[in-house]
Amino acid sequence: MQAWAIALGLALACVITRIAGRILQGPLILLPALLFLIFDFSSALDLTHHWYSTFAALAAINILMGGATLRRICAAGALCAIAALFTQTQGTLTFAALVIYLLWLSRSGPRHTHTSTLTQLTALVLPFTLIVGTCLGYYIHKAGQRTVFADLILFPLRFLSSGEVNSPRTYLHQFPHVQSPSDLLRLIPFVFIYALVPYIYFIGLYHLRNHTDLPSTLRQHLMLLHLVGLALFLAVASGPRFFRLSTVAPPAILICAWLLSQQSPAYRFARTLLCALAVVFALLLPLRRQTQWHAHTQFTHRPGCLQRHSRLP
C-alpha cells in the first residue's frame, strides 16, 4: 500500500502538472504539483475511493483542455463513468459539470449549430451511460432496481449526512491540537486547504468576470477547471471533513496558482511565501517521519496458537 500511495501521488502530480502547463507559464508550472504533494496529499494519505474519483476527474479535465473534439469528449465521458464507479456523487457531478461546460462553450465560443452541440452531448452521455449501466447491470439483475437505487441514491441523500461524521457540522472541527510552538507548523496544511476550498472558486470566477482581455483558450480552460472543481466540492459538501476536502482540492490548488501568477507585488509576495513554506515542509516532513517512534510486528505460527513479537528500532 505504501508503494501504491507513491504511485498514485506521482500520477496525480503528473496530471496536475499537465493541466498547469495549459494555464501557467515558466517555472510556475511546477508550483501546483508542489503545493499538492506538500500541503494536500501528504496530509490525507488514506487511499480511499475519493482519490481515484478525483484522479479520473482531473484526467477528464486534461483531455478536454486539448480540444472539444468528439473523441476527447467520449474519453472524458468514460472517465466520468470511472469516477462514478468509485464515488457516485463525484463522478455524476463531474459529468454534470462537463455538460454545463459544453453548453457554455457552444454559446461563448465560435458559432455552433444545434446539431453539433447535441452531437457533443451525445458523445459525452453515451460512454458514461454504457460503462455505468454495464457495471451496475449485474447488481441490478441480482439485487433488483429498488435495492440498488436505495443504496446508491436514497441512502446518500437521506442518511449519509445525518450523523456527526458526515454532517456539515464537522466543518473546521479537524484542526490539530496545539501543545507546543512546533505544533503550529501542523496547522499550515489545514489552513491552506480550508482557505482554498471552496472560496478560491468564487475569487477566480470574479477575476474571470472582471478580466475580459484573457485569451479565449485560457478562459475556456479556467472555466472548465472552475466548473469541475465546484462539482467535486459539492460532492463532499454534505460532510466537509478535512480529509474529504483534501481529496477534492487539486482544482482549487491549480486556480490558486493561476491567481498567484499575476505580477502585482501582493501576488508575488504570496507566491514567494507559499514556495518557501513548501520547501521547508519538503525538508521537514521526511525528517519528522523518519525520527518518529515505530516498530515492526512479526507473527509466528505454532500449532494451536498465533504469537506476535514486536521489535523496536
Write out the three cell numbers for 236.
Answer: 463532499
Closest C-alpha to 33, from 17, 21, 48:
17
E-only strand ranges, the chain? 296-302, 305-311
**All residues at 6 or more sequence positions from 7 whose CB lies less than 8 Å from its CB, including other chains:** none
Q: Which pLDDT score is estimated for 304?
A: 55
Residue 114 pLDDT > 90, yes or no?
Answer: no
Higher pLDDT, 186 or 127: 127
What's the burial of 33, exposed, middle or buried (CB within 10 Å: 0-12/13-18/19+)? buried
Question: Where residue 312 falls among pLDDT bands split at 50, 70, 90?
Answer: very low
More confident residue, 114 or 38: 38
User: Angle 216-236/49-65 helices, nearest 10 degrees?
Assistant: 160
> Whole-prediction pTM value?
0.88
pLDDT digits (tens, 9 = 90+) for 200-223: 999 999 999 998 889 999 999 999
- The 3-state DSSP class for residue 308 equals strand
Terminal CA-to-CA distance of the chain, rounded, Å? 22
What pLDDT is stored for residue 281 in this prediction? Answer: 87
490539530: which residue's cell?
176
What does the pLDDT average to over 270-283?
89
* pLDDT for the residue numbered 287: 81
Q: What's the chain's average pLDDT?
A: 88
30 contacts: CB under 8 Å, gap ≥ 6:
17, 20
Domain boundaries defined on the chain: 42-162+188-290
Q: How confident is the model at residue 299 (pLDDT cuts 50, 70, 90)?
A: low
Band of the pLDDT at 93, cuts 50, 70, 90? very high
Instruction: Name 53's Cβ contacts closer than 8 Å, sequence gap at least 6.
Output: 83, 84, 86, 87, 90, 91, 94, 235
**Statement: residue 246 has pLDDT above 80:** yes
| pLDDT band of 245, cuts 50, 70, 90 | very high
Looking at the chain, the whole-number percentage of residues with pLDDT higher than 70 is: 89
Could you read off the pLDDT of 168-199 as tens digits, one per residue? 788 888 887 777 766 777 888 999 999 999 99
* Residue 114 CB partners (closer than 8 Å, separation 6+): none
